[in-house]
Amino acid sequence: AQSVTQLDSQVPVFEEAPVELRCNYSSSVSVYLFWYVQYPNQGLQLLLKYLSGSTLVKGINGFEAEFNKSQTSFHLRKPSVHISDTAEYFCAVSDPFESGNTPLVFGKGTRLSVIA
């Protein structure tokens, strides 16, 4: 079964500074990878996804992530954060070679706090 490790539970960063949120997944032949954002008391909003093709994927709100198969990583980056980016970020993996009904497996999340 797949597993996801988000290496940092909390990341404080000053406004307009760059940020990287780290995500590693357990090895598999092929995976689909996702980043979701959760604002307080809300559901999850899809930021970006890697299904196939280019390893650098761009998402909403200026975020991007790079799929690195050799390092089994899918780190999320933003060159300049805003106060409004303060939220919980979840990395998730889906293994497309199981039954076809495979749910997402999530990491424990990284709380990004942007400081003015």
Partner 1 sequence: DTGVSQDPRHKITKRGQNVTFRCDPISEHNRLYWYRQTLGQGPEFLTYFQNEAQLEKSRLLSDRFSAERPKGSFSTLEIQRTEQGDSAMYLCASSPGGGGWKTQYFGPGTRLLVL
Our finding on whether 77 is near partner 1 (CB under 8 A) is no
> Shortest distance, CB of residue 92 to partner 1, whole angstroms?
8
Q: Which stretch binds partner 1 (CB under 8 A): 14-22, 28-36, 61-69, 71-79?
A: 28-36
Whole-angstrom distance, CA of residue 53 vs CA of residue 78:
21
Among 40, 54, 101, 116, binds partner 1 (CB under 8 A): 101
* Residue where the block lists tokens 């706090």: 113
Our finding on whether 53 is near partner 1 (CB under 8 A) is no
Rg of the chain taking only CA atoms, in angstroms: 14
Residue 72 DSSP one-character state = T
> Shortest distance, CB of residue 59 to partner 1, whole angstroms?
12
Other residues' Cβ atoms within 10 Å of the Cβ of residue 100: 6
Decide whether 15 or 104 has the Cβ nearer to partner 1.
104
Distances (CA, A) of 4 to 1, 85, 111: 10, 22, 16
> Shortest distance, CB of residue 19 to partner 1, whole angstroms?
19
